[in-house]
Amino acid sequence: MSTTEPTSKLGGKVLALEYLTRARKPMPVKELVAKVLADSRCKLAGRTPEATLSAALYVECAKSDGVIMKYDKGIVDLRSRQQPAAPKKRRAKAEPEPEPTA
């Protein structure tokens, strides 16, 4: 008697991370969502799974410690694949000249 484990369903973000990892490059959100929803392991259901997954990806991008980052408009990538941006140098504020005392 063999016990075969049924294929487990995965969440949309988990599959999106898997596809981004496999792609090895940034991907457009629409393309990523289409691939995830076409995967038979995806457990998203409802009237608007595309909007649900897109929103979840953008929320993950907004997190400072999220694993996905916004690469460009409508394009996301893994945060671990991108090098951290160099901190912007602030200009020193010009101090007002002291008024001469007579």
The alpha-carbon radius of gyration of the chain (Å, integer) is 23
Lookup result for tokens 């694993």: 67
Is the pLDDT at 2 greater than 50? The verdict is: no
Q: What residue spans of the chain are helical by DSSP H?
A: 12-23, 29-38, 49-62
Q: In whole angstroms, give the CA distance from residue 42 to residue 8.
A: 9
Mean pLDDT across the stretch 63-91?
79
Asked whether the whole model's pTM tops 0.75, one would answer no
Mean pLDDT across the stretch 16-39?
91
- In this prediction, residue 13 carries a pLDDT of 87
Is the pLDDT at 29 greater than 50? The verdict is: yes
Mean pLDDT across the stretch 75-79?
88
Which amino acid would we find at residue 98? P
- In this prediction, residue 83 carries a pLDDT of 63
The token pair at 45 is: 């259901």
C-beta separation of 31 from 77 below 8 A: no
